[in-house]
């Protein structure tokens, strides 16, 4: 409650539990999102989410390490501590929503996998703090994601496929059925979208599903399993497209495209 400015906002947690209970009654599995930044205070609410009918919990660890004197390993350990704390009090699957800002994202994913994460969600999007030069003020806010932001998440999903046991969920830049297909080809087990539904309404989910079905038919895929991870590198093989040679190829292509003639 110390984070809540409005004293009346103390009813929000109870309202959210009620929302979970009503949504779970629809017959569609509900993944409850637990947002916080410290290990304390999560366990009771996580247990309440399970009791309200959540089929799984996503740990949205909203923590941007801005203190320059805190060691990187201490910041990373925070994620492990929160995960193990919540896993100890619930029996439903628990996923961790990752930030792309770890010094070694791959190693962090493996650590969370070994600590019991049932899923990894790539990537979290933090509040976009900016500066307004006209009003001389600091502005805060959120912007909806766009397809161009999906490249980092897709490349990491491709790298992690086969390296962890946890399911891999894509969560950035999903606007069209092609975006869904690209994530599946990279190896995503799950593709999530919020921004496109906010832009176009809940009915856009059917547009994405119908578009994905049409794409699979055009490409001759009989089911999702045939295309999932098709373009992800094998775990025990070199990754030319995702490594140094891929970078050099990109530079050569950019030179041909943008160099003065």
| Measured CA distances, 218 to 205, 208, 211, 212, 215 (Å) | 20, 15, 11, 10, 5
Residue 104: what pLDDT? 92
C-alpha span between 241 and 230 (Å, rounded): 14
Tell me the average pLDDT across 83-93. 95
Q: Which pLDDT band holds residue 257 (cuts at 50, 70, 90)?
A: confident
DSSP three-state, residue 140: coil
pTM of the model: 0.87
| Measured CA distances, 30 to 36, 52, 167, 185, 250 (Å) | 19, 10, 16, 25, 41
Which is more confidently placed, 27 or 63?
A: 27
For the stretch 6-53, pLDDT in tens is 666 667 788 999 999 999 999 899 999 988 777 777 788 899 999 999
pLDDT, averaged across the chain: 89
Q: Which pLDDT band holds residue 235 (cuts at 50, 70, 90)?
A: low
Residue 90: what pLDDT? 96
Which DSSP helix (H) or strand (E) runs through 119? strand 119-122
**Least confident stretch, 66-70, 77-81, 92-96, 244-248:** 244-248
Residue 63: what pLDDT? 76
Q: Which pLDDT band holds residue 70 (cuts at 50, 70, 90)?
A: confident
Let me know: does 187 contact 168? Beta carbons within 8 Å: yes
Query: What is the residue-wise DSSP string for 160-187?
Result: HTTT-SSEEEE-S---SHHHHHHHHHHT
Rounded to the nearest 5 percent, the helix, strand and coil shares of the chain are: 45, 15, 40
A 10 A CB-CB count for 11 gives: 10
Which is more confidently placed, 58 or 11?
A: 58
**Beta bridge partners of residue 97, listed in sequence order:** 60, 121
C-alpha span between 114 and 166 (Å, rounded): 9
Place of tokens 């491709």: 158
Residue 238: what pLDDT? 61
Label residue 53 left, alpha or beta by phi (over 0 means left) and psi (-120 to 50 means alpha). left
Tell me the average pLDDT across 187-196. 96
- With a cut of 80, say whether residue 123 has pLDDT above it: yes
Nearest-5° Cα angle at 149, 159 to 257: 90
C-alpha span between 16 and 28 (Å, rounded): 17
Highest-confidence segment of 21-35, 66-80, 133-147: 21-35
Cβ-Cβ contacts under 8 Å for 168 (sequence gap 6 or more): 119, 120, 122, 157, 160, 161, 187, 188, 189, 190
Which is more confidently placed, 209 or 142?
A: 209
| Measured CA distances, 147 to 2, 126, 143 (Å) | 36, 17, 13
Residue 132: what pLDDT? 87
Among the listed residues 112, 188, 117, 120, the one whose alpha carbon sits nearest the alpha carbon of residue 150:
188
C-alpha span between 232 and 92 (Å, rounded): 29
């Amino acid at each position: 409650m110390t984070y809540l400015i409005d004293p009346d906002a103390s009813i929000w947690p109870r309202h959210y539990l009620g929302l979970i209970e009503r949504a779970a009654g629809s017959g569609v599995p509900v993944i409850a999102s637990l947002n916080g930044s410290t290990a304390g205070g999560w366990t009771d609410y996580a247990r309440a989410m399970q009791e309200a009918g959540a089929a799984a919990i996503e740990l949205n660890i909203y923590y941007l390490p801005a203190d320059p004197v805190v060691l990187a390993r201490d910041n990373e350990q925070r994620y492990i501590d929160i995960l193990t704390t919540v896993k100890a009090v619930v029996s439903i699957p628990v996923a961790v929503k990752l930030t792309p800002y770890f010094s070694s994202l791959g190693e962090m994913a493996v650590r969370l996998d070994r600590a019991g994460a049932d899923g990894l969600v790539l990537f979290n999007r933090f509040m976009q703090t900016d500066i307004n030069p006209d009003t001389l003020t600091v502005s805060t806010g959120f912007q909806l994601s766009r397809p161009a932001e999906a490249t980092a998440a897709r490349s990491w999903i491709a790298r992690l496929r086969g390296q962890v046991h946890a399911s891999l969920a894509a969560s950035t830049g999903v606007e069209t059925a092609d975006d869904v297909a690209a994530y599946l080809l990279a190896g995503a087990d799950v593709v999530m979208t919020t921004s496109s539904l906010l832009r176009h309404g809940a009915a856009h989910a059917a547009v994405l599903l119908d578009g994905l079905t049409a794409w699979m038919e055009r490409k001759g895929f009989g089911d999702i399993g045939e295309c999932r991870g098709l373009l992800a590198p094998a775990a025990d093989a070199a990754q030319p497209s995702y490594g140094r040679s891929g970078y050099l190829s990109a530079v050569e292509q950019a030179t041909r495209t943008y160099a003065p003639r």
